[in-house]
Amino acid sequence: MILELDSIKKTINKKVLLDDINLSIEHSPILAILGNNDEEKSALLKIIAGIYSCNSGSIKINDNEVDNNFEFRKNIFYVSNDPYFIENENIEYILRTYKMFYKDFNIGFAIEEIEKIFDLNTTYPSKLSIQNRRVIAIICALASESKYILIDKTLDGIEGPILNDLKKLILKENSNKGTTLLINTSNIKGIDDIVSDFIVLCDNSLKFHKNINEENEYISKVTYFDESMRNPDEIFESSDIISFVDNKLTKTAIVKLSKDKNEQYIKNKDIKYFDIKQVYASEIYDNLLKYE
């Protein structure tokens, strides 16, 4: 499935949150939504989910308008940062309720994963801590069999072994079922190891969209020692440089390089001492705005 946002604009109380957002998601990524304004990032997810309407623009799945189209809306599952559960009902009752709205909801999967942490018969999600409610909500989202799961800061604040288990589940669903996950987060370092794409929202606009695992493009951190003391813009194409740090004895650049040619490219520039490492979304994000 292809999810497309075309010229999305959203204002609330005359405050512009999103202005002319264009985004195409074509390959089932685990996509992190980054930026300093949580209201903007959350608004984007809520528009996709149908919780907010946009002032202008359109959302399509496979060229079909999503608004007022239940067949396509049921492919989208939104998880808030403060999940709501029916008061004084246990987990099994809540799972049966989800099944009423999502016909492919996998109760067996949800029970298996939740039982690893909670007692199904005596646990009342509405009475749990916010972290534990978030854990149950994410498991339910994965059990829904939805093609698009929107996680609105729900992973923030979950730590340790439980976070690692959730990340494994997310990777499994993404790999086996082609599930696309859009994750609004303020803790990108906590999920760096599962993110394949990220976007940066800033000043109401989409500033950057990167697929880290593209076949023909590769983002790497190159640390090198150059006897001629050349800066990266004398070695690499300026358009390929994302950031640069001068460490006096060595220089470090985050650059876009071809997977099969990056090492040879550097050798052709007569750089004898260099080291190439993988770069995660958090490092690109931390350096992106500095470089610009």
**Domain end position, chosen among 211, 240, 257:** 211
Domain tally, the chain:
2
pLDDT grade for 231, boundaries at 50, 70 and 90: confident
Looking at the fold, whether 138 and 85 belong to one and the same domain comes out as yes
Looking at the fold, whether 25 and 129 belong to one and the same domain comes out as yes
pLDDT grade for 216, boundaries at 50, 70 and 90: very low
Condensed to tens digits (0 to 9), the pLDDT of residues 105-141 reads 999 999 999 999 888 878 899 999 999 999 999 999 9
Residue 189 has pLDDT above 70, yes or no: yes
Residue 217 has a pLDDT of 53
Q: Which alpha helices (DSSP H) does the chain contain, by range?
A: 38-49, 70-73, 91-101, 107-115, 130-143, 160-177, 188-191, 262-268, 281-291
**Domain end position, chosen among 154, 180, 211:** 211
Looking at the fold, whether 187 and 282 belong to one and the same domain comes out as no
pLDDT grade for 142, boundaries at 50, 70 and 90: very high
Looking at the fold, whether 249 and 156 belong to one and the same domain comes out as no
**Domain end position, chosen among 164, 185, 211:** 211
Looking at the fold, whether 83 and 127 belong to one and the same domain comes out as yes
- Could you give the percent of the chain with pLDDT greater than 90? 51
Condensed to tens digits (0 to 9), the pLDDT of residues 13-28 reads 989 999 999 999 888 8
Looking at the fold, whether 239 and 207 belong to one and the same domain comes out as no
Looking at the fold, whether 74 and 14 belong to one and the same domain comes out as yes
Of 99-113, 186-200, 202-216, the least confident: 202-216
Looking at the fold, whether 207 and 232 belong to one and the same domain comes out as no
Name the strand (E) or helix (H) holding 9. strand 3-12
**CATH code, domain with 262:** 3.30.70
Looking at the fold, whether 194 and 250 belong to one and the same domain comes out as no
Taking the C-alpha atoms of residue 209 and residue 249, their distance in angstroms, rounded to an integer, is 33
pLDDT grade for 288, boundaries at 50, 70 and 90: low
Looking at the fold, whether 51 and 102 belong to one and the same domain comes out as yes
Looking at the fold, whether 138 and 158 belong to one and the same domain comes out as yes
Q: Taking all residues of the chain, what is their mean pLDDT, rounded to a whole number?
A: 86
Q: Give the residue numbers spanning the domain of 245.
A: 218-291
Q: Residue 111 contacts by C-beta under 8 Å, 6 or more apart in sequence?
A: 92, 95, 120
pLDDT grade for 292, boundaries at 50, 70 and 90: very low
Global confidence as pTM: 0.80
**CATH code, domain with 147:** 3.40.50.300
Looking at the fold, whether 27 and 158 belong to one and the same domain comes out as yes
Edge-to-edge strand ranges of the sheet holding 3-12: 15-25, 3-12, 56-61, 64-65
Residue 22 has a pLDDT of 95
Residue 243 has a pLDDT of 76
Residue 218 has a pLDDT of 65
Residue 130 has a pLDDT of 94
